[in-house]
Amino acid sequence: MIFKAFLTHIDSVIARDPAARSRLEVVLCYPGLHAVLLHRISHFLWAAKLKLFGRLVAHLARWFTGIEIHPGANIGRRLFIDHGMGVVIGETAAIGDDVTLYHGVTLGGIAPAIDASSQVNMKRHPTLADGVIVGAGAQVLGPITVGRGARVGANAVVVQDVAPGAVVIGIPARPLAATGLRAQDRFLAYGTTDGGDPVAAAIEQLRGQVELLEARLAEFERAAGDATARTPRAEPQRRVW
């Protein structure tokens, strides 16, 4: 059963990464897979109250893969961490099934309390539902929820809940469009989308409005010039000496 789940995990990596050519290559050369496997061990130790040993395994995993996953984090099946260098997953983070994270992603904690001891049992890190894609360099911060099938664009900073199937980009992250939750939707690397930047779209809309106003102003100026040309000029009065 465990071996079958392991093979399924490897096949899910191959399905999402065109650079993967074989199962053996994924097993030997993919640090994201190594980090998840080592996290399974550290999380088991953490849950068994062997917290120091759990942290030690997590520390060794960080040194070996460049990926830092706290042993307290809950991770679902078939998590794919592509490239992986610089990924940080906090203690109270929760990740669903078939989630994809790229390098530089942070699932970080935000808590209002200054005293760290008062935050021990507090939910401080985000929850990622099934099928979420988080692009490179994105920061997902605080006890928020990223809904099923949502995409977070590269370098986005997410500090509010993301609706299922939504696409968010920017700093702070803003929703771009709904992608829907259809099973036939294709996997899009780095959380990319066929849509554009909402800021660029707004600028383009403003530009169109300015061009329209300039055209109307030109029409008014031409009309005013024609009216002036048609108005007869008054003859100058002659002075009588």
pLDDT score for 163: 93
Structure tokens at 152: 């977070």
Q: What does the pLDDT profile of the chain (241 residues) look like in tens digits?
A: 788 888 999 999 999 988 889 999 999 999 999 999 999 999 999 999 999 999 999 999 999 999 999 999 999 999 999 998 999 999 999 999 999 999 999 999 886 656 666 666 788 999 999 999 999 999 999 999 999 999 999 999 999 999 999 999 988 888 875 544 444 455 566 656 555 555 566 676 778 788 888 888 888 888 877 666 666 666 666 666 5
Is there a single domain that holds both residue 46 and residue 163? yes
Question: Which CATH number covers residue 20?
Answer: 2.160.10.10
pLDDT score for 46: 95
Say how far apart CA 224 and CA 83 lie, in whole Å.
Answer: 65
Note the pTM of the prediction, 2 decimals.
Answer: 0.72
**Burial of 161 per CB tally in 10 Å (0-12, 13-18, 19+):** middle
- Using alpha carbons only, what angle is made at residue 63 by residues 62 and 64, rounded to the nearest 5 degrees? 90
pLDDT score for 181: 47
Structure tokens at 80: 């794919």
Is there a single domain that holds both residue 147 and residue 115? yes
- Residue 30, in any domain of the structure: yes
pLDDT score for 36: 95
Structure tokens at 165: 């199937």
- Residue 234, in any domain of the structure: no
222 is in which domain, residue-wise?
197-229
Is there a single domain that holds both residue 217 and residue 118? no
Is there a single domain that holds both residue 162 and residue 178? yes
Is there a single domain that holds both residue 73 and residue 175? yes
**Three-class SS of 93-120:** CEECCCCEECCCCEEECCCCCCCHHHHC
Number of domain units in the chain = 2
Is there a single domain that holds both residue 38 and residue 150? yes
Say how far apart CA 71 and CA 92 lie, in whole Å.
Answer: 9
- Residue 111, in any domain of the structure: yes
Say how far apart CA 121 and CA 136 lie, in whole Å.
Answer: 29
Cβ neighbour number for residue 144 with a 10 Å cutoff: 17
